[in-house]
Amino acid sequence: MPSTVRSDRSSQIIAWAIVSLFIVGNFLPVVGAWTGPVTGVWFVGTQKPRRGFLWLFVFTFFPSLFADWRKFPLDNPGHAIQYLSLAMLTAALTILPLTFHRLVSPRLPGFSSTLPFPLAAVAIPALALALRAGVVPQAGPRTVLISWFAATLVWMWNRESHATTAFLGAGVVLATALESIAHFTGVALPAAFANAMVVDYLCIGVALFLGIWAIFHPVRERNWADRREAIARLQSPFTGDSLRVVSELGHELFLSNSGERFPVRNGIPTFLRPQDLTGDNRKYNHLYELIGGFYNDIQRVFSPLKGLDLEDYFLSYMRLLEVRTGDAVLETSVGTGLNFKYLPRGVKLTGLDLSPEMLANCQVNLRRWEMDADLFLGNAETLPFADASFDVVFHVGGINFFNDRAKAIREMIRVAKPGSLLLIADETEKHVKEVYEKGLGSFYKNRKEPVSAPIDLVPPGMQEVHLESLRSGMFYALTFRKPISSDSANTALKPDMADCSRGA
């Protein structure tokens, strides 16, 4: 069984070359003209629209002030205010096409979702000119191509390169490359296409059409009323009462017999009350709320940079699960759902997490991968599921920093069917020290105690307790079986420490 993850030298070289190109783009305008829009489209796509706009505004407005500080009119307060207002308007107009893309593109099907940015990148400056707010350089055919290139590249990245994506993407990349060659060699674009006025009006018209279309086609949310199997598994995490779905003013919510109300927000039933978010759960929740949008991409970029094979990385622990077609599978602390990709199709997936932002991105991922899962906002220490509801229960990557690890483990056991194998995997102290403390020091320094595999917290009576050290001691995977009957729990085997790595 592999305990290290395969390294991939060629991917590592490509990853470093691409990252270097993006870094160079910050200093060389000719490169930045291409890498800047790609970064912009990627970034707004990872954020809620308002937050994305505000962040990009800060990234655009302040550097532009520093770049042009010599022009700042210190002598006259009236001129200074005028100068600042114009700079703010310019920054806002520069970002608006990206925000338009963020709002409209998720509602468009397939490849058409690449169009809002190029259209808006031309339409918004053209409208600004028409309204005499001409502070953004006017855009033409070249802008369409560069921004379409950016939107397509990000679309391909998000689709994780299916064949059609690669084909369509290659078309746009080719068109953009030809245009660039034409630009640098002085060869003109075909006259009709090069006529900026025609392109302006065309872009305004189509952007308007797509914007209106998107308003009437919101992303469809899950309807819970017809998910009987999922509802049957639910119970109040506070009273244990069973739950039913009702609809009030067009919004679904879960009601318990004792009158508890659990709202459904953005398609996700909410079993977390503000007063339950305390201690370490609260502290680390801030982190996940912040990074939820690019949690996947952090792994997709850093793994090749470090030369790690991402698939090996996930399979190192997912291979330990016992999953059969038709099984009901629960992942507590599901995050953005990355582990679901490594489960066989034909299982019923359920995920629970403490972070709305991670779950929102899990929904996006599931749509991209054409997968379906019941997602819940809640605390892994008080699960909203009935006893013995799932064939497979597992947890990856959060338990080290839970408020109460023992309670979370007891809850996993409670909701697992008798005889099922449970998996708990997380980073070791070595990883936390070498990676997290260096990268995110303030979050991980001054911990109460070093992290350790919670083998001592597995209740007596669990069978086949087994601890494995993975990825050169950076990760641990703990598995154990819930006994078939309560009798066998009493005669449970002692923990099998043969392969245990207590250093985990």
The residue ranges that bind ligand SAM (CB under 6 A) are 281, 284, 288, 333-335, 338-339, 353-355, 358, 379-381, 396-398, 402
Nearer to ligand SAM, 117 or 401 (CB): 401
Nearer to ligand SAM, 176 or 400 (CB): 400
Select the residue whose beta carbon is closest to ligand SAM and give its number. Answer: 335
Work out how close the CB of 426 gets to ligand SAM at its nearest, in angstroms, rounded to a whole number.
8
Work out how close the CB of 260 gets to ligand SAM at its nearest, in angstroms, rounded to a whole number.
19
Q: What is the 3-state secondary structure (H, E, C) of 234-269?
A: EECCCCCCEEEEEEECCEEEEEECCCCEEEEECCEE
Work out how close the CB of 461 gets to ligand SAM at its nearest, in angstroms, rounded to a whole number.
24
**Residue 441, CA atoms < 13 Å, CB-side half-sphere:** 1
CA nearest 205: which of 115, 113, 279? 115
Three-state DSSP class for residue 180:
helix
**Amino acid at residue number 34:** W
What is the DSSP track for 9-54?
Answer: HHHHHHHHHHHHHHHHHTT-HHHHHHHHHHHHHHHHHHS-HHHHHH
CA nearest 262: which of 280, 281, 283, 276? 276
Nearer to ligand SAM, 117 or 402 (CB): 402
Q: CA 426, CA 395: separation in Å to the nearest integer?
A: 8
Work out how close the CB of 147 gets to ligand SAM at its nearest, in angstroms, rounded to a whole number.
32
Q: Could you give the strand order of the β-sheet that contains 261-265, starting from the edge strand earlier in sequence? A: 243-248, 251-256, 261-265, 268-269
Do 239 and 254 contact (CB within 8 A), yes or no? no
Nearer to ligand SAM, 143 or 236 (CB): 236
CA nearest 148: which of 184, 176, 109, 183? 176
**Residue 233, CA atoms < 13 Å, CB-side half-sphere:** 24
Nearer to ligand SAM, 107 or 395 (CB): 395
Work out how close the CB of 305 gets to ligand SAM at its nearest, in angstroms, rounded to a whole number.
18
Identify the residue whose tokens are 């962040």.
Answer: 55
Q: How many CB atoms lie under 10 A from the CB of residue 211?
A: 16
Nearer to ligand SAM, 53 or 288 (CB): 288
Work out how close the CB of 362 gets to ligand SAM at its nearest, in angstroms, rounded to a whole number.
9
Work out how close the CB of 49 gets to ligand SAM at its nearest, in angstroms, rounded to a whole number.
22
Q: What is the 3-state secondary structure (H, E, C) of 367-403?
A: HHCCCCEEEEECCCCCCCECCCCECEEEEECCHHHCC
| Residue 332 bridge partners (DSSP) | 352, 395
Nearer to ligand SAM, 118 or 292 (CB): 292
Do 356 and 265 contact (CB within 8 A), yes or no? yes
Nearer to ligand SAM, 140 or 356 (CB): 356
| Residue 265 bridge partners (DSSP) | 268
Nearer to ligand SAM, 100 or 271 (CB): 271
Do 285 and 443 contact (CB within 8 A), yes or no? no
Any residues with CB less than 8 A from the CB of 248 and at least 6 apart, and which? none
Work out how close the CB of 419 gets to ligand SAM at its nearest, in angstroms, rounded to a whole number.
24
Work out how close the CB of 408 gets to ligand SAM at its nearest, in angstroms, rounded to a whole number.
7
Work out how close the CB of 94 gets to ligand SAM at its nearest, in angstroms, rounded to a whole number.
33
Work out how close the CB of 334 gets to ligand SAM at its nearest, in angstroms, rounded to a whole number.
6
Work out how close the CB of 57 gets to ligand SAM at its nearest, in angstroms, rounded to a whole number.
27
Nearer to ligand SAM, 334 or 500 (CB): 334
Q: CA 27, CA 351: separation in Å to the nearest integer?
A: 43
Q: How many CB atoms lie under 10 A from the CB of residue 268?
A: 24
Residue 273 DSSP class = -
Nearer to ligand SAM, 57 or 280 (CB): 280
Nearer to ligand SAM, 139 or 423 (CB): 423
